[in-house]
Amino acid sequence: MTRPIRCSSKLQPMSEREKSPLWGGRFGASPAEAFEDLNASISFDVRLAPYDIRGSIAHARMLGEKGIISTEEAEELVRGLGAVLEEVESGRFTWTLADEDVHTAVERRLREVSGEVALKLHTGRSRNDQVALDLHLFVRDAAASISDALLETMRALFEVAERRQDLILPGYTHLQRAQPILLSHHLLAHFRAFERDLTRLYAAREAANVSPLGAAALGGTPHPIDPSLTAGALGMQPLVNSLDAVSERDFALDLLYALAVLGVHLSRLGEEWVTWTSSEFGFATLDDSYSSGSSIMPQKKNPDAYELMRGKAGRLIGNLNALLITLKGLPLGYSKDLQEDKEPLFDSVDSVLGILAVLPEMLRTASFDGERMARAAGGFALATELADFLAARGVPFREAHRAVGQLVRRCEEKGIRLEDVSDEDLTAAHPTLANLPRELLTPEGSVANKKSSGSTSPGSVEEQLRQARELLRGLQG
C-alpha cells in the first residue's frame, strides 16, 4: 500500500537560526523571531519533502533538456537532490526553524551538498508552484492509500456478510424495531455507502493529478521551460492556466469532502456497533484486542474504537469547512492564507487512515449473539408481515393496517408476543387472518417472504453478495 511518507523531522532549536532568509536581498533587517515563528510552516510541511524533491528532480531535468542550464549542471542537481531525498527518507535530514518551509530547507541542503549549482535550480519556478505541486502529489498518494484501506474494509464487510447469512436482526426506524432483516443485508448497506466513497476518492485522485509546475509564481516565465515535460515525468497532466495553477486548491477540497462523507458513513457504522455491543442490545461482542477497559469499573469492556469513529467525523467535517473558509474570498494568485491548507488536510488523511487501519479486523473478529438478534427481530417487528398478508388477499392496505394495529394492541394488553397470538385473536382482528401460515410470523419467514429486488430476502442478498464479489474482484487490480 502506498502511504504518504512521513518525515522523521529533527527541528533544530531557535539558537541555531540563520539570520538571512532566501528572500532577504531587499531587507535591511532580519525577521523578528515571533514573526519568523508565525510565518514558518516547516514544523508541519516537512512531510511534503519527498514530493518537493521529486518535483525538483523533474524540474532540473527539464531545465537541462531545454538548454536553460547545461546537461552537466542538470545531472549534478539531480544527483544532489537524490542525496537529499536519501537523507530525508532515512531520517538523517536536520531541519532548522530558519528554513521557514520545506522548499527552503531542501534548497538550503542542496546547496550544502552540491555547491553553487544549487542556485540555478529555482530558474523559472516559484515556491508557489512548488507548494501547489507538493500538495497535488500528497493528495494523489493519500487518495490512493485511503482507497486501498477502504477496499480492505469493504472486503471485511463482504466476508462477514457472506459468512453470516444465517443471522437476522431487527431493522430500525426511529431506533424502534421495524422489520426483520438479514445481518448480511445490513452489512451490505454499509458496503454500498463505501462503494460511493470509493468513487469520490478516485475522483479526488484524478483532480490532484495536474502539475502546477511552470506557473513561475503566477504568470509564466520568459525562460523556454516545458511544463508538459515536468508533468509527464511525474505522471501528471500539465497546467492550462498558470494563474489558476497556483491559486486553486479544489483537489484538496475534493479529498476533504470525500473524507468528510466517508467520516459520516464511518460514524453511522460506529454508532450502530456502540449500540449493538451494549448490554441493552447485546447483539455483538468485540474481540478483546479491539476493546478497552475502565480504570475504575472492572467489568467494563468499551467499544472505544467505534466511539472514536463516531467522534472523528466532527473533525473531518470541520477540516473541510476550515479549508472552504480559508479559500472563500481569496484573490487569485498565491496568498499566505494558503499555508493554512495543509494541517486540516494532513489531519483528515491521518484520522481516516487511523480508523481504517483497525476497522477491517474489528469487523472480522467480532462475534454475534444470533439468538438475541433473532428474538429482537420477532414480536411486533412482524406486524407489517400480517398487514401485507391481508393486502395481498385483497384487503385494502389501510384497512389491513388498522386491523393489525388493533391486534398489536390486544397482544400488548395480554402481555404476549405477536407470534404467541391465538387463532381466535387473529380471526377476531380480521377474518382473512384465519388462513395465515404461521411461519410468516417468524423472522425467517418474514425475510423469505420479501419479493422486491434489492430487498432483504435471502435470494436478493445472494445477488447483492454476487455483485459485491464482482466489484471487489474487479478492483483487485
What mask, x for binding ligand ARG by CB under 6 A, covers residues 82 to 111? Answer: -------------------x----------
Q: Which of residues 126-165 bind ligand ARG (CB under 6 A)?
A: 127-128, 131
294 catalytic per annotation: yes
Residue 3 three-state SS: coil
CA distances from 104 to 17, 96, 301 (A): 13, 10, 50
Cell numbers for 143: 487518495
Interface with ligand ARG, residue 48, by CB under 6 A = no
Rounded to 5°, the CA angle 83-85-88 comes to 115
Q: Output phi, psi for 92, to 5 deg.
A: -90, -10
State which residue, 46 or 201, has the beta carbon closest to ligand ARG.
46
169 near ligand ARG (CB under 6 A): no
Neighbours of 23 (CB within 10 A): 10
State yes or no: residue 247 binds ligand ARG (CB under 6 A): no
Q: How far apart are CA 225 and CA 233, in angstroms?
A: 14
Give, for 202, the enclosing helix (H) or strand (E): helix 183-208
Q: Say which of 15, 90, 174, 289 is annotated catalytic.
A: 174
Smaller CB distance to ligand ARG: residue 123 or 339? 339
Catalytic annotation on 223? no
Closest distance to ligand ARG from the beta carbon of 137 (Å): 14
Radius of gyration over alpha carbons of the chain, in Å?
A: 30
Residue closer to ligand ARG by CB (options 45, 254) is: 45
Ordered DSSP codes for 341-389: GHHHHHHHHHHHHHHHHHHHHHHHH-EE-HHHHHHHHSGGGGHHHHHHH
Interacting stretch for ligand ARG, rule CB under 6 A, among 124-132, 151-159, 238-246, 286-294? Answer: 124-132
| Residue in this structure with the C-alpha cell 529533527, named with its chain if needed | 10
Give the SS3 label for residue 168.
Answer: strand
Q: In this chain, which of 45, 107, 197, 388 binds ligand ARG, going by CB under 6 A?
A: 45
Shortest CB 128 distance to ligand ARG, Å = 5
- Output the smallest distance, CB 84 to ligand ARG, in A: 18
Taking the complex as a whole, how short is the minimal distance between the CB of residue 334 and ligand ARG, in angstroms?
5
Q: How far apart are CA 394 and CA 54, in angstroms?
A: 72
Question: CB 54 → ligand ARG: shortest distance, Å?
Answer: 17
Which CB sits closer to ligand ARG, 109 or 185?
109
Interface with ligand ARG (CB under 6 A), residue from 158, 334, 380, 389:
334
- Which of 100/254 has CB closer to ligand ARG? 100
Q: Which residue has the cell 531535468?
A: 61
Q: Provide the 8-state DSSP code for 124.
A: T
Residue 215 sits in the site that holds ligand ARG (CB under 6 A) = no
User: Does position 185 bind ligand ARG by CB under 6 A?
Assistant: no
**In the 8-state DSSP scheme, what is residue 416?**
-
Q: Which of 30, 228, 339, 406 is in the footprint of ligand ARG by CB under 6 A?
A: 339
Residue 458 and residue 466: Cα distance in Å, rounded?
12
**Residues annotated catalytic, as ranges:** 174, 294
Which spans of this chain sit near ligand ARG (rule: CB under 6 A)? Answer: 41, 45, 101, 127-128, 131, 334, 338-339
